[in-house]
Structure 1
Amino acid sequence: MSSTTATGSPATPQTNVAMIARQAIVNAQHAVVGYELFNRSRSGPTHTAATDVALVFTALSHAGTDELVGKKLIFVNCTHESLVGGHLELVDPDKVVLEIPPLGHVAAEEVATRMPTLAALRARGFHLAFNHTVLQSAYAAWLPLADYIKLDLSLLAPDQLAVLISYANRNSRADLIAEKVETAQQYDMVSSHGVQLFQGYWFARPALVQAKLITPAQTSILELITLVRNQASTEDIEEVLKKDAGLAFNLMRLINSSGFGLAREITSFRQAVMLMGLKKLFRWAALLLTTSRTSGTPSSVGQTAVVRGRLMELLALESMGQEEADQAFVVGIFSMLDAMLGMPMETALGLLSVPPSAEAALLRGEGVLGHLLTLARACESNDDAAFDRAASTLQLTSQQINGAHLQALAWADHFGE
């Protein structure tokens, strides 16, 4: 059922704000080649193995990759635990640099134990970055995997730097990055030794970027995980997505992000499920579960979106095929994005890839989908004039509309019980 506050007014949409800091990494011409990302969410969970990977997903999908990093490389700090959870299988590796930490107590066996994981990540296409400790003899097995080696100017004396740079150039193919460059003198010094990449306050301080995220209900996520683990049909999985606007938004946003690496736009839940596959879908749902904070039924806004989507789908099926009905559902469930995200609809749609007909319906009420949306809104507001106009345009009877509306309400309420 719809949730309300103690005063009886509708509950606000359940959204989280992710605070991500990015700091530029530049070349000798001071052109930005990538950004290192840091999790700066004060209200977020304490650092765990999952938060590193969650940061990647936020950057690649929810925050909007083009606004956050454009076509540049993304450098992300990792723990060794976060590298083996399998969630990285959801990420297109081409633009991601995983910063691998040294081991606390160096032992040859531990270095060897981590080697297969690192080698597999690099074989998949991820770039790997290490700090200067990878140049120690204990890490000799890791050195050939290094695409980047970061040299911390706050830790290394000039004479140490000269030795390490010379050794790295002779024994690896890695690009060297001087980090924590804070003065022109430091920049000139490392440049004179041939370092070509730089990071630090002298170039740019970390800049904060806010990303609003819709949190799906934990009950929906758990239901999705159960279905996937039981290898349920695409139709059954699609039903769960249709019943939680937050879940649907997050999936469509991720699968259409540049970070997911698909060549064509995905416009329906069925397509998303089939292209993602059960294995990736399970890992995505598991990650959502680890980062969700509260359980319960959808907010009143989310509930309205679900009813709209189902109503528009049922009405579309009266005269159109299943593909058009799928699009009608997408328009209905995303028609509340502005309220859920607290931003204008045009801005919210910028976070998604929707077909032109859906965009025209959501922004301007145009086309058959726009008329269906107008009709759905008229059903909510009891606007008889708008109801009659839309019904006439769509050639639907009051009996058809009222019957579909009751079915949609019952369908959404059954989920919220």
Structure 2
Amino acid sequence: MTDSLQTTEAGEAREPETVYLGRQPILDRAGALHAYELLFRDSPDNHARVQDDVQATAHVVARAVGEIGLSAVLGDYRGYVNMNRALLFDDIVHIMPPERFVLELLETITFDAALYRRCAQLREAGFEFALDDVVRLDDAILETLPYVDTVKVDFLGADQAQLPELARVLKQHGKALLAEKIETHEHFVRARDLGFDYFQGYFFARPQVLATRRPSASRIALLRLLSLLADEPAMGTLEAELKRNPEIVVQLLRLANSSAFGLSRHVSSLRDAIAAIGTRQITRWTQLLLYADGRGLPWRSDPLVQLVGTRARFMELAAHVLRPSDEAFADAAFMTGIFSLVHVVVDMPPAEILAQLNLSEEIRAAIGSGRGALGALLGMSQAADRGDLLVIDPGISDAAFARLTPAALARLHVEAATWFAAHRLE
């Protein structure tokens, strides 16, 4: 992929200047625009070079929601996004506003009871599903139909003699039909005559590549600042580092002057801001800036920042319930929540970026494989994000977890959301 963190001749990491996203229109029976399918692109060339399905979809979502913006990418329409099995259980789902996205189930997915439960949860949250690349009916597809809203039929791949029966049965099940790979006017007319509702293919339009310049603020600078803050720097050292990053200074001054800190006077100098906020809070908001950096959205409307901020605070509050006098554990819980989504905004595999951040083994184990007390708290926070019934993992041996009843966890989640709303930057 060309949209990865790159290295200059001097060996310094830098971000690419431009990001790309493909979209292809989906039309209705009258030929009017109905939706777009969003596609991974890593260059101006209109070709997909996908090496990792999860990373590709992460890029599509991050670019659509943040870097380019939903208004520019989708306008008032919905976006269809490819999802494999791992992605359906991944945190990236929670970044997508359900009223703006249709989740496409790839033909390679293995369907089972766990996946059907997950689809049902996401449909209750407001998502719609499309079953992709259908060419024939079989028992597996018929079993899946109750969980999807739209069926995308590969018009070229399907047996032409069987298409009428295929369309008839799908319509009997109440599904919207989308004919993909429509390449000629004759294809369109036949699909329309067979009762298809929506149409997609080269006959209408090839995918369009959208591009935007990356902002000047660098996430590398934020990572460097976080590394410095981990060593409890002296005031002068911290001030000097912040002066190298004016975009960060602006955000921190806004924070210091916000009502959240209840100061009797507005601070006007960087040193005053550092003293007013304190290094602990600077660390936390720098972590959140890592997600907000360059996304061009007010914090109140940025779903990624809302998700990660609320998750981190939820984990911190739950950690205080488990170990009331252990501030280090609470801080580790907050950091686990923050960095559980860092791979979405930094173009690296999760394991690689976690290693570069020099996080403790306990935090890395929690994020990478859900191990330990922090891993259990992360799992609870992810369940809260989904709106699941919060049930403690019976494999957890720590008796203190019995205090985290579903009712207690629901209360903590509300408190976490309230905390984020009170501390957001205007």
Q: TM-score range by the shorter chain?
A: 0.5 to 0.7
Deviation track 1:271-299 (CA, whole Å, cap 9, x = no partner) reads 99469855774443242345389869xxx
Unaligned runs of 5+ in 2: 1-6, 231-276, 316-336, 358-424
Relative distance call for 1:141 and 1:239 in structure 2 (3 A) is: same
- What is aligned with 1:157? 159
| Deviation at residue 136 of structure 1 after TM alignment | 2.1
* Distance of 1:270 and 1:36 partners within structure 2: 26
Relative distance call for 1:119 and 1:247 in structure 2 (3 A) is: closer
Matched, 1:198 2:206: no
* Distance of 1:46 and 1:272 partners within structure 2: 27
| 16-25 vs 245-254, which moves further | 245-254
Instruction: Choose the corresponding residue for 2:54, options 46, 49, 56.
Output: 49
Query: For 1:405-416, what aligned pairs fall within 5 Å after superposition?
Result: none
- What is aligned with 2:23? 22
- What is aligned with 2:223? 220
Larger Rg: 1
Query: What is the TM-score with the length of structure 2 in the denominator?
Result: 0.54
The one-letter code of the counterpart of 1:63 is I
Deviation track 1:168-223 (CA, whole Å, cap 9, x = no partner) reads 0112x221111111111111111112112111111111110113345512972995
- What is aligned with 1:141? 143
Matched, 1:288 2:291: no
SS for the counterpart of 2:195 is coil
* Distance of 1:89 and 1:42 partners within structure 2: 27
Deviation track 1:278-337 (CA, whole Å, cap 9, x = no partner) reads 5774443242345389869xxxxxxxxxxxxxxxxxxxxxxxxxxxxxxxxxxxxxxxxx
Contact kept in structure 2, 1:151 and 1:176, CA below 8 Å: yes
- What is aligned with 1:87? 92
Relative distance call for 1:245 and 1:103 in structure 2 (3 A) is: closer
Relative distance call for 1:176 and 1:205 in structure 2 (3 A) is: same
Contact kept in structure 1, 2:116 and 2:147, CA below 8 Å: no
- What is aligned with 2:117? 116
The one-letter code of the counterpart of 2:219 is P
Contact kept in structure 2, 1:220 and 1:240, CA below 8 Å: no
| 78-87 vs 177-186, which moves further | 78-87
Instruction: Choose the corresponding residue for 2:169, options 149, 152, 167.
Output: 167
SS for the counterpart of 1:19 is strand
* Distance of 1:15 and 1:204 partners within structure 2: 28
* Distance of 2:306 and 2:124 partners within structure 1: 31
Deviation track 1:211-260 (CA, whole Å, cap 9, x = no partner) reads 33455129729959x99xxxxxx9735435448976542466384557x3
Matched, 1:38 2:39: yes
Relative distance call for 1:257 and 1:213 in structure 2 (3 A) is: farther
| Deviation at residue 45 of structure 1 after TM alignment | 7.3
Contact kept in structure 2, 1:149 and 1:174, CA below 8 Å: yes
* Distance of 1:282 and 1:40 partners within structure 2: 26
Relative distance call for 1:211 and 1:160 in structure 2 (3 A) is: farther
Unaligned runs of 5+ in 1: 228-233, 262-268, 297-353, 356-417
Query: What is the TM-score with the length of structure 1 in the denominator?
Result: 0.55
Relative distance call for 1:125 and 1:27 in structure 2 (3 A) is: same
* Distance of 1:284 and 1:16 partners within structure 2: 22
- Identity among equivalent positions (%) equals 21
Deviation track 1:20-62 (CA, whole Å, cap 9, x = no partner) reads 1100001112211111011110598722323313311211111
Query: For 1:65-76, what aligned pairs fall within 5 Å after superposition?
Result: 65-76=70-81
Instruction: Choose the corresponding residue for 1:249, options 289, 293, 297.
Output: 293
| 15-24 vs 134-143, which moves further | 134-143
* Distance of 1:243 and 1:83 partners within structure 2: 26
* Distance of 1:178 and 1:101 partners within structure 2: 15
Aligned alpha-carbon RMSD (Å):
4.2
Q: How many residues align?
A: 274
